[in-house]
Structure 1
Amino acid sequence: MRLDKYLKLSRLVKRRTIAKELADKGRIELNGRVAKSASDVTIGDQLILHYGDRQIKVEILATPEIVKKEDASSMYQRLD
């Protein structure tokens, strides 16, 4: 699954275009490397999102194509 789509489905980012902008600015790391919005994410990958002065570190647990709002938080585990 594409990184920008995953971030939107998991509701870590509100819109897919915002996820793309974050990736284009180099503010998303995937397994220790700066990621592009088209990068593929798989189960077990670790993401670090840099939002201004704070960062969110998560591990990917699932990558379903369709997810309900209530189930979005089960797609990842926070590592903070």
Structure 2
Amino acid sequence: MRIDKLLFFLRFAKSRSLAQNWAEAGHIRVNGRRVEKASLSIGVGDVITMPMGEIVVTLKLLSMPIRRGPASETVLCYQLID
């Protein structure tokens, strides 16, 4: 799954175009490497680091979401890392 679609499905971005802008601006890291394309493929087990407001969020992808569902469903797809 593409990084922009994943962030939209996991409800970190309000729109897919916003997630595309974040990725292309270089604000996101996957497994420690800077993302420069919104088309980057993401898989289960990848670690994603990104700024959210004034904090930095790091999460590990546990499963792939199949849709942009309710928040209670999406939180089961990742684990926050401190």
Provide the TM-score with structure 2 as the length reference. 0.87
Aligned to 1:63: 64
Structure 2: gaps spanning 5 or more residues:
none
- Residue deviations 1:3-44 (CA, integer Å, cap 9, x gap): 000001011222111111111110000000011211001000
SS at match of 2:45: coil
Aligned to 2:75: 73
Aligned to 2:51: 50
Matches of 2:42 and 2:57, distance apart in 1: 16
Write the letter of the residue equivalent to 2:29.
E
**Conservation of the 8 A alpha-carbon contact between 1:27 and 1:51:** no
How many residues were matched structurally? 80
Displacement of 1:52 after TM fit?
5.0
**Conservation of the 8 A alpha-carbon contact between 2:58 and 2:81:** yes
Provide the TM-score with structure 1 as the length reference. 0.89
Aligned to 1:23: 23
Matches of 2:68 and 2:20, distance apart in 1: 20
Q: Identity over aligned residues, as a percent?
A: 30
Does the alignment pair 1:32 with 2:32? yes
Matches of 1:21 and 1:31, distance apart in 2: 19
Matches of 2:78 and 2:65, distance apart in 1: 11
Matches of 1:78 and 1:31, distance apart in 2: 14
